[in-house]
Chains A and B, each alone.
Chain A
Amino acid sequence: MAVGIEKPSVGLSRVAISETHGENGIEKPSVGLSRVAISETHGENSPYFAGWKAYDENPYDEIMNPSGVIQMGLAENQVSFDLIEEYLRQLPETSFGGDHVSNFRENALFQDYHGLPSFRKALATFMEQIREGKAKFDPARVVLTAGATAANELLTFILADPGDALLIPTPYYPGFDRDLRWRTGVEIVPIHCNSSNNFQVTRQALEEAYNSAKAMNVRVRGVLITNPSNPLGATVQRQVLEDILDFVTKKNIHLVSDEIYSGSTFSSSDFVSVAEILEARDYKEAERVHIVYSLSKDLGLPGFRVGTIYSYNDKVVTTARRMSSFSLVSSQTQQLLATMLSDKKFTENYVRTNRERLRKRYDMIIEGLKKAGIQCLKGKAGLFCWMNLGPFMDKPTKESELALWSLIVHEAKLNISPGCSCHCSEPGWFRVCFANMSEQTLEVALKRIHDFVNKQR
């Protein structure tokens, strides 16, 4: 194309033009991608990805690279793999169930978006087990999706129109900015929480969030909570759940409860699922409630892409099923996990042992941080703790937090997540993962924190 002449191209947004400057500042017309494709809402250019970069470029290895960056920003559960591996070893065949090869054909052809009945049933039973039978789950309401990432986006497409908003308590999982907003065009309006009450959601905060959306002329379609919370590593109190349910009822909106960490509470008695509250209320107003779950955290299987939407609303279940066509779970994976999760002996032992091991890790990190003079939010769940480094910052500002974080990444060589990346309104808090490494590595990390903090004093 001739230089200097703007060839009319197919629909570039302002953002697109700013991103596609050719050489010499001359606007090089690009080949018309959509606003969605060009927008930054996927969030991957945010500053906190610098921590990932530092890790990728210099990853810690006990033997090969003992001075590398230790990854503490990845909420993976690696503490209980041996239990699953042992189970798989004693299975006659690991996939396709029963007779390994002869079931292959049926399994390979199975693409019904209703999901493998045996798997749906096993998943519903597993969810009941995690809640110690305090709530019942009907397999007919289980919709399968390729991970909770897909489940959350799908629900957003179903519950809200572009330009509408979901209210989400801060701090929240940074991935939501992409998962809930990017392709859906839906907005997130924060429900601000702070340390004065351990970051629990209050009725006042709910009202304020709702009103601020209204002031922006944005229609609120629902509240989305993560329980247990990421990044807090704490469960939502029963009374708070009741308050939230009352609130969404009053406002006639939806409630999505992402319970992806429900199996990662250190003691089963600490967790109250919204399902329990609904059962206690005789399922009144249950049609506005939808639960998201996944095997990525509790079972440590993020690679297998297993998520689910459990909805008490028939229309949502039907629509979600149809929409799940875009993100079905591999039938090969469904078959394998149906077998595993149907084994009650295995699941009971797994859930119990996993909880114990996570609690042990948690105790270890809390103790280690305490020795370094660092306080954490008292939490009873999750694969991470919420650490307060406020006392070590000169100013309670986002800039100070990022400066401190940068030091931790580059000097202490620990990749942790700064609270601002989780939209925390109170600077100084950091999420630190503890279940994605060996105990030895965790010891090394704690020592580095100890040394780092001493240096700062």
Chain B
Amino acid sequence: MRPLSRKATCNSHGQDSSYFLGWQEYEKRPYDAVRNPTGIIQMGLAENQLSFDLLESWLAANPDAASFKGNGESIFRELALFQDYHGLPAFKKALTEFMSEIRRNKVNFDPTNLVLTAGATSANETLIFCLAEEGEAFLLPTPYYPGFDRDLKWRTGAEIVPIECHSSNGFKITQAALDDAYEAAQKRNLRVKGVLITNPSNPLGTTLTREELNLLLNFVNAKDIHLISDEIYSGTVFNSPGFISVMEVVRDLKLENTDVWNQVHIVYSLSKDLGLPGFRVGAIYSNNDAVVSAATKMSSFGLISSQTQYLLSALLSDKNFTKNYIKENQRRLRRRQEMLVNGLRNVGIECLQSNAGLFCWVDMRHLMSSNTFEGEMELWKKILYDVRLNISAGGSCHCSEPGWFRVCFSNMTEDTLNLSMQRLKNFVNSMNSSSSQSHHQRMKNSRRRSLTKWVLRLSFSDREPEER
């Protein structure tokens, strides 16, 4: 067999982690209210399924947008031929205005500084291609989205060095953590090119504070490096303290005429706020002309279908729609989050206080048999196989402390969410009452789990968490 490249044969695609294992198990026995009521409930998928009806009614009222018609006339030909990597002007205008609206118009975006890409996956990779190469690294606060290991490192050759965050201060970014990360990179002989944050955070579900943003801006300025702010969840902020975009802070600190102005870049996408991951709509926003220029050319490798650009430019240009959607979507997310938080609290499980995102960061340290990552994995498997809930273990998000889990709440119906809480309740109750479990039973369970683990490794096929 003729050899493939190193990239093809390495494991940087990241698909051997536990994150994918849960996915695979779910696929085998997915929960269905009618057909498989004891199946596994998917709570590891950060999808926003709460507001489709709003989109659907807009579509029903505006059939032309999906039918290649503009002003009643067919524009099929123009769209079919349109492959300009500068993007459909009407779409870029509508998208930047939507981004401004989400930021309560505290920031204005210039469409010429926007680069369209096939999803945020493509946007993040493209930015790293522009800013870093082999031997260089980006610093990322932990815990972070597992997909970054693939998206930022696989084909670019760049490295990720973690900025360790801890529960002691609500996982906030500190100066000490930044300095430690920078030093750690140097020790590994890696040149640091920037920091990448996700704001609001995945998996924490929290917005970064102004203090953290100030800290970050000062840090990147002092080190003369870049700051990428992945704001893919910016439209999902449903509670105070509200969303502060890094771009807002740059303006508040009056940094427009400084180097930092050219070193801050935003990533956005419609996959979470609008729930349209299939349409592959992502974007890079930067005031750095060289970055915009290089990224634009690179976007040739992942352009957005003109058919989709057209549909969404019509949707997002409808300001009545966007205003109502943003507000209503946030209201529904808040309600769901409350349901999950309260449901968990009822069984003695607390979450990190959150105000955004499609998930909660759940503290299950007290349920582990040992305060280790092995203990975390053991608990995760129990929850997967016994409770039949697929949730995401903190270890797969590079959390430095074991016992935290990400639990999604917006990719299912209310009934399903209630059922998952019920199952968890049963589990926790049974754990409390069976702490006097026989030794024999424990051994039996542990053997069963080892066998399952072995079987899983053999039968593992590729799976992909395209979602976050």
Contacts and interface: CB of A to CB of B under 8 A. Distances in A.
Contacts of A315: 1, 4, 8
A332 B307 contact: yes
Given A31-B259, A34-B132, A108-B52, A146 B302 contact: yes
A394 B421 CA distance: 84
Contacts of B302: 146, 150, 326-327
B133 A34 contact: yes
A300 B80 contact: yes
Interface in A93-137: 93-96, 100-102, 104-105, 107-113
Contact of B15 (A10, A161, A322): A322
Contact of A109 (B8, B82, B275): B275
A147 interface: yes
Interface stretch (A199-207, A235-243, A301-309, A405-413): A301-309
Query: Looking at B2, B263, B278, B462, which has the most chain A CB atoms within 10 Å of its CB?
Result: B278
B277 interface: yes
B464 A331 contact: no
Contacts of B52: 104-105, 108
Contacts of B76: 81, 84-85, 88
B83 to A, nearest CB: 4
B68 A88 contact: yes
Contacts, number: 252
Contacts of A10: 191-193, 224-225
Interface in B27-75: 47, 49, 52, 55-56, 59-60, 63, 66-68, 74
A319 B47 contact: no
B4 A316 contact: yes
Given A7-B224, A31-B224, A336-B307, A326 B291 contact: no
Contact of A33 (B5, B130, B304): B130
Contact of B193 (A32, A96, A178, A333): A32
B252 interface: no
18 contacts: A31-B263, A36-B129, A38-B294, A81-B80, A88-B68, A93-B67, A100-B59, A111-B280, A146-B301, A146-B302, A147-B303, A153-B301, A183-B129, A303-B307, A319-B13, A323-B13, A332-B66, A333-B305
B53 to A, nearest CB: 9
A94 B121 CA distance: 28
Nearest to A288: B2
A112 B131 CA distance: 29
Nearest to B298: A183
B290 A95 contact: no
Top 4 nearest A-B pairs (CB, nearest first) are A331-B278, A303-B306, A330-B305, A37-B294
B143 to A, nearest CB: 21
Given A108-B52, A332-B308, A316 B122 contact: no
A333 B311 CA distance: 11
A330 B117 CA distance: 11
B219 to A, nearest CB: 14
B437 to A, nearest CB: 41
A387 B301 CA distance: 31
A252 interface: yes
A202 B420 CA distance: 67
A252 B37 CA distance: 53
B317 interface: no
B200 interface: no
A161 B6 CA distance: 7
B300 interface: yes
Given A32-B131, A34-B131, A300-B80, 14 more contacts: A7-B224, A11-B191, A31-B226, A76-B81, A109-B278, A111-B280, A111-B466, A318-B462, A319-B8, A322-B13, A322-B15, A330-B279, A332-B307, A332-B308
B290 A37 contact: yes
B60 A326 contact: no
A76 B193 CA distance: 41
Interface string B261-298: 01100000001000111111000000010110010011
A318 B249 CA distance: 43
Nearest to A34: B133
Contact of B81 (A1, A78, A95, A147): A78
B5 A160 contact: yes
B308 A330 contact: yes
A17 interface: no
Contact of A327 (B15, B225, B301): B301
B444 interface: no
Contact of B121 (A254, A321, A325, A329): A325
Interface string B1-23: 11011111000010100000000
Interface string A410-448: 000000000000000000000000000000000000000
B136 interface: yes
Contacts of B311: 95, 332
B466 A325 contact: yes
B212 interface: no
B317 to A, nearest CB: 18
B262 A326 contact: no
A354 interface: no
Contacts of A32: 131, 193, 224-226
A244 to B, nearest CB: 15
Contacts of B224: 7-10, 31-32
A280 interface: no
B307 A333 contact: yes
A322 B68 CA distance: 31
Contact of A150 (B68, B301, B467): B301
A100 B60 CA distance: 9
